[in-house]
Amino acid sequence: MSDATDPWLIVGLGNPGPEYAANRHNVGFLVADLLAERIGGKFKRAQKAQAQVVEGRIGPPGPENRRVILAKPMSYMNLSGGPVTALRDFYKVPTDHIVAVHDELDIDYGALRVKLGGGDNGHNGLKSMTKSMGPDYHRVRFGIGRPPGRMQVADFVLKDFSSTERKELAFLVDRAADSVECLLAEGLERAQSAYNS
């Protein structure tokens, strides 16, 4: 069982490389980048895992201040479990102190859902993480909506956000980052009541 002094591992899921940077599938990276900016850190290569990491603290000074490792796996989405498990073991993070931030097809664009555990809903990053360490980690699900018409899901998630979506994207990424901070400082129930839409 974890306690308040254990570190948290916040994992933004995405694909490495500039060609994927603005894809819907990479919204986890966008949230991780913003959190890194907020704590004044820069991502660098992890020594023990195929990932980029930033270490720091999130939250106000005092008992709500949490030690965090922000991570972006560099393995491609469907192999995320390996790097995340390596980071978990290296930093000695309890599984219930891991938060995966990811895109979610079954939620309207921009809506959030914070939860603990559950299935992968066909998401390859979650599938890989769950296979490596079980399902008992937190998720911040960032809604991207369903593909229009007959567009294949794989094509949709690997396309950039539309110009209409981009108008709101910075605000929505900011809100997702807020939800992570709330989860760490105030717990799951508070984060759910404040951010689940």
Q: What is the largest CA-CA distance in the chain?
A: 52
Strand order from edge to edge, sheet including 51-58: 44-45, 51-58, 66-73, 8-12, 98-104, 138-143, 112-116
Catalytic annotation, residues: 25
Strand intervals (E) in the chain: 8-12, 44-45, 51-58, 66-73, 98-104, 112-116, 138-143
The tokens for 10 are 């916040």
CA 52 to chain centre: 13
Beta bridge partners of 20: none
What does the DSSP assignment read for 78-115? GGTHHHHHHHHHHHT--GGGEEEEEEETTS-TT-EEEE
Quote the CA–CA distance of 83 and 89 in Å, as a whole number: 10
